[in-house]
Amino acid sequence: MTDLEQRRREELAAALARVRGRITTACAAAGRDPAEVRLLPVTKTFPARDVALLVDLGLFDTAEARDAEAAAKVAEVIELRPAAAVRWHMVGRVQRNKCPSVARWAAHVQSVDSPRLVEALQRAVRSAREAGRRQGTLGVLIQASLDGDPARGGCTLTELEALADRVAAASQLRLEGVMGVAPLGIDPGDAFAQLAVAAQRLRRSYPGAVEMSAGMSGDLEQAITHGSTCVRVGTALLGGRPLTSR
Ligand SMILES: *Cc1c(COP(=O)(O)O)cnc(C)c1O
């Protein structure tokens, strides 16, 4: 390992300890067991080398937001850490024409928000499996829009149940829960409280859909207070991104 890599590894280890500390503190305040909250690194804009270093630190799950970037990175990480079984999660908007590619690298898609996307993923996963490019079904979280503006991704809370029915009926998809991003300008606690209601309602219909993916670098504490089972952390772990990449 080069000096530069060694330094980056130490930087990531220190950031990881800080983020884990925040999760532990937030869980203690909420009376929750930290084992209920998974830390999902979001490595968009960061190089495959960083994903490899996170693997070395014991993080085998990682999330990406754009198909083209992710597909290339997945291949690089396989070269860097051939023995590591990294699970890749898609958390960004998925265009339907990208589904065949996403079906080849993603173990889970957290950003499913329309019936047409459900159909496209179902078809893409089936084709990928038939072609031997994928093993197993695709885990799906339904992204809910928490500001009533689905233009920025996510279905409305009223559409969520019907969309869940479609995912549950799709043989190649596994309904795992809900995901939400707190909109700018709204108290994240209020946004996550809404998402928690939707998550609980979904669990009554589908007891296996236990995930509530909520909370990022700036608001993971509020998300944990409201029951998040998965915090998606980019900048607090990896450092700042260029602003345009959001
Ligand atoms: C980028 C991104 C994150 C991580 O954001 P940070 O503020 O850097 O922690 C989480 N979720 C989604 C959907 C993202 O696109």
pLDDT of residue 241: 87
Which amino acid residue places its CA nearest to atom 11 of ligand 1? 232
- 118/65 Cα distance (integer angstroms): 18
Tell me, what DSSP letter sits at residue 184?
T
Which amino acid residue places its CA nearest to atom 4 of ligand 1? 234
Give the HSE-up count for residue 93: Cα atoms under 13 Å, Cβ half-sphere: 9
- 40/11 Cα distance (integer angstroms): 18
Ligand 1 atom at shortest distance from the alpha carbon of 44: 1
| CATH architecture, domain defined by 3-238 | Alpha-Beta Barrel (3.20)
pLDDT of residue 31: 98
Q: Taking all residues of the chain, what is their mean pLDDT, rounded to a whole number?
A: 96
User: In one letter, which amino acid is 12?
Assistant: L
Q: Is 167 helix (H, G, I), strand (E, B) or coil?
A: helix
Tokens encoding 231: 């915090």
Q: Encode pLDDT of 8-61 as tens digits.
A: 999 999 999 999 999 999 999 999 999 999 999 999 999 999 999 999 999 999
Provide the β-strand partners of residue 171. none
Of 120, 123, 64, the closest CA to residue 92 belongs to 64
pLDDT of residue 1: 81
**Per-residue pLDDT band at 242 (split at 50, 70, 90):** confident
Cβ atoms of 108 and 138 within 8 Å: the answer is yes
Cβ atoms of 64 and 89 within 8 Å: the answer is yes
Q: Tell me, in angstroms, the distance from the centre of ligand 1 to residue 214's CA.
A: 10
Q: Tell me, in angstroms, the distance from the centre of ligand 1 to residue 234's CA.
A: 5
**Per-residue pLDDT band at 165 (split at 50, 70, 90):** very high
Ligand 1 pocket, residues with Cβ under 6 angstroms: 42, 44, 65, 91-92, 181, 216-218, 232-236
One DSSP character per residue, 113-127 reads --HHHHHHHHHHHHH
Ligand 1 atom at shortest distance from the alpha carbon of 216: 9
- Report whether pLDDT(160) > 80: yes
- 43/70 Cα distance (integer angstroms): 9
Ligand 1 atom at shortest distance from the alpha carbon of 91: 13
Ligand 1 atom at shortest distance from the alpha carbon of 238: 8
Q: Tell me, in angstroms, the distance from the centre of ligand 1 to residue 81's CA.
A: 24
Q: Tell me, in angstroms, the distance from the centre of ligand 1 to residue 92's CA.
A: 9
Q: Which residues, including other chains, have CB under 8 Å from residue 185's CB and lie 6 or more apart? A: none
Please choose from 216, 222, 231, 244 the residue to mutate so as to test ligand 1's pocket, defined by most ligand atoms within 8 A of CB.
Answer: 216
Which amino acid residue places its CA nearest to atom 13 of ligand 1? 91
Which amino acid residue places its CA nearest to atom 6 of ligand 1? 234
Give the HSE-up count for residue 165: Cα atoms under 13 Å, Cβ half-sphere: 4
Q: Encode pLDDT of 168-225 as tens digits.
A: 999 999 999 999 999 988 999 999 999 999 999 999 999 999 999 999 999 999 999 9
Q: Encode pLDDT of 102-146 as tens digits.
A: 999 999 999 999 999 999 999 999 999 999 999 999 999 999 999
Ligand 1 atom at shortest distance from the alpha carbon of 236: 9
Q: Tell me, in angstroms, the distance from the centre of ligand 1 to residue 224's CA.
A: 16
- 27/33 Cα distance (integer angstroms): 6
- Annotate 157-170 with b (16+ C-beta within 10 A) or e (fewer): bebbeebbebbbeb
pLDDT of residue 244: 56
